[in-house]
Amino acid sequence: MLALTSLSRDLLRSLRDHLRPLVAYHLFFTVLASSLLLPAVAWSLAGLVGRFGRTVISGAELLDLLLSPAGILWLLAAIGLTFLVLYLQQAGMILVAARPRDRHVRLAFEALWWSLHRLPALAGLVVIQVGTHLLLVLPVALTLVWLHGALLGGLDPYYVQRVRPPALWQFLALALPLVAAWAGLAASLYVRWILALPLVALETLSPRRALLHSSRITRGKRRSIAAISLVLLALILILPILVTLAFDWLITPLLWWLPERNAVLIPATLAYLTAYVLVTLAITFAGIAANALLSTCLYLRLTHREARPAPPPADAHPGRLAWMVELGVVLFAVWQAWLIVNSFTLQDEVTVIAHRGSSLDAPENTLPAIHRALDDGADMVELDVRLTRDHQVVLYHDSSLQRLTGDPRRIGELERETLANVDVGSWFGDPFVGEPIPGLDEALAAVRGRSGLMIDLKTDPGREEALVDAVVAALQEEQAARHRCLTEAVAVADTTTQATAVQACGNPDVTAETRLATTSPRLARTIQSRYPEQRVTLLAQLILPGSLERRRLDALGLRHNRIDEQEVSLAKRYGYELHAWTTNKRSRMSQLIDMGVDAIITDRPALLAELIAERRELGDGALLLIKLHNWLRQ
């Protein structure tokens, strides 16, 4: 039996004995991977996506692509190349631990060269080992797709998400056992083949022979190996979280006691972040090294009856180059900390966009929701629009009335007069009983002089351009109405009355305070071509790298949990606005403001407006500490 305590003790001793050559190898491999391997992989995959000629910005589009022959090839290439880089990294660390030398840097270079020399064998191991897991997941994935189509395919996705009908629970009840069965089988294969990588790296076995030999020598010990692997995995996942929480809860509060002067706060923050980066790098390295050392210790115990790798020779020494490498790590941490501090801008200008009005306080896409959003301080009100049978534009999100009224009829099959008599307020509460579906013209009149609109185009197949034309016509009618209003206001003799009337008329340039939004890149290009004066926001759930042309974007609306520093950097590089949707948590709003988004779409505009007002009242020091806190939480 493999004792968890003794194996853990041997693993820690091995990490201590081989720490410096492992660190050297890790740094050399990281430099190689970041400068050559990973960019080559990213370039190859992005180029392959570009050949598809498809924009992938939603989960459904991603699924459609991955189920196509070309998409399957792309997925296989992405998975294979990713695992090949990981196997190269792990093989080198195994070689460092199992073949000690007197000079640490020389050992690291030799391990790097030897792992690259074994690249064909490692690639073969990836093909067999990872390919087997993919073959196992294929029938499960196809079954899940079939189940989804049979149970949920005919339902509106947003209806499924919000209402969670019985069909959803039926799907989950059938899907979860399938996923659990695959996970159990995949874990069993992982344990069975856990020694294949050290066998390929150390004994130069072929991939097939290494897998067979690993299966033989782990027989009878797989439960112990599984338990040890799970404990190590848990530690690798939990330790970074615990360290971040420790910094945030124990060290960050100490910064609040410092005087609010930049001459003190900035050096203190720089030192804090340098320490955090160093600890994070150490934890990352420890997790990678521990996984490689676990394989090495298991290999030695089960094949050579040795508890752990032999320590380096007694006269081994790091050498000056090793000291320089380690000094480089410290300088890298200082540089990263400096970049982080400089990324903290003290300007917090962000547009507050109310999602379907204040839709947590009033029924979505109704006049009460719009009025409440205006009272809550929204800069813009986001509304969903659809085209009726008689080519009128009404405010409604779903394709059918099912979710809000229980009526299965579709919006595009009904006339506006009929929809005006549909009650979409009763589901929300008694104060809104009898609330009708309003038209876009009513919404435009409601926001005059107080706010702009973001109009999210919900299209029916074959009627996309008709909806755009109808929306633009409504904007033009509203613009004419505002001009008439202003003409009448100017004619008023009383100056005070005249000023009030002008304010009530609103901005005559309706286009300037209105934004169209769509999830279709093709429709966005059509709008920009036919109505170049209209600003357009492209809404996306996700973006498959290399699939989206960003140069012509006015704005990109991205799901808030998909926004990171890279997306903010891309928006600045290509000159478009970045909008985050839809978040209702104060902490996440604060993080997004610090990241530099241009607008936040929320169901709680009052909360966001309050947060912005509070941050404007803070001094630079307090705001810097809030930004540091939010950066840690990301």
Predicted confidence band at 206 (pLDDT cuts at 50, 70, 90)? very high
Residue 594 has pLDDT above 70, yes or no: yes
CB 482 within 8 A of CB 512: no
What is the rounded distance in angstroms from the CA atom of residue 424 to the CA atom of residue 432?
A: 8
pLDDT at 574: 94
6's CB contacts (< 8 A; 6+ apart) are 307
Vertex 177: Cα angle to 175 and 179 (nearest 5): 70
How far is C-alpha 252 from the geometric centre of its chain's CA atoms? 26
pLDDT at 320: 63
Going by the DSSP 8-state scheme, the letter that residue 567 receives in this structure is H
Predicted confidence band at 631 (pLDDT cuts at 50, 70, 90)? confident
141's CB contacts (< 8 A; 6+ apart) are none
For 584, the token pair is: 């209702």
Render pLDDT for 14-53 as a digit per residue (tens, 0 to 9). Answer: 888 888 888 888 888 888 888 877 787 777 777 767 767 7
Burial of 187 (0-12, 13-18, 19+ CB in 10 A): middle
Predicted confidence band at 627 (pLDDT cuts at 50, 70, 90)? confident
Report how far apart the first and last C-alpha atoms of the chain are (Å, whole number).
42
10's CB contacts (< 8 A; 6+ apart) are 297, 307, 308
Better pLDDT: 456 or 565: 456
464-490 vs 521-530: helix axis angle to the nearest 10? 40
585's CB contacts (< 8 A; 6+ apart) are none
Q: How many CB atoms lie within 10 A of CB 285?
A: 19
Question: What is the longest distance spanned by two Cα atoms in the chain?
Answer: 102
What is the rounded distance in angstroms from the CA atom of residue 278 to the CA atom of residue 331?
A: 10
Render pLDDT for 480-514 as a digit per residue (tens, 0 to 9). Answer: 999 998 888 777 656 666 667 767 888 889 999 99
pLDDT at 10: 84
Give the pairing of strands 380-387 and 599-602. Answer: unpaired
Predicted confidence band at 425 (pLDDT cuts at 50, 70, 90)? very high
415's CB contacts (< 8 A; 6+ apart) are 388, 389, 390, 392
Exposure on the CB side of residue 289, measured as CA atoms within 13 A = 27
Lowest mean pLDDT among 172-181, 386-395, 622-631: 622-631
What is the rounded distance in angstroms from the CA atom of residue 120 to the CA atom of residue 88?
A: 11
233's CB contacts (< 8 A; 6+ apart) are none
Residue 528 has pLDDT above 90, yes or no: yes
Better pLDDT: 552 or 555: 555
Render pLDDT for 119-161 as a digit per residue (tens, 0 to 9). Answer: 999 999 999 999 999 899 889 988 998 998 888 877 766 677 7
| Mean pLDDT, range 264-275, rounded to an integer | 84
Give this prediction's pTM: 0.82
What is the rounded distance in angstroms from the CA atom of residue 311 to the CA atom of residue 18?
A: 7
Beta bridge partners of 384: 456
For 330, the token pair is: 């410290």
Question: What sign does the CA torsion over 360, 365, 370, 371 have?
Answer: negative
How far is C-alpha 162 from the geometric centre of its chain's CA atoms? 21
CB 381 within 8 A of CB 370: yes
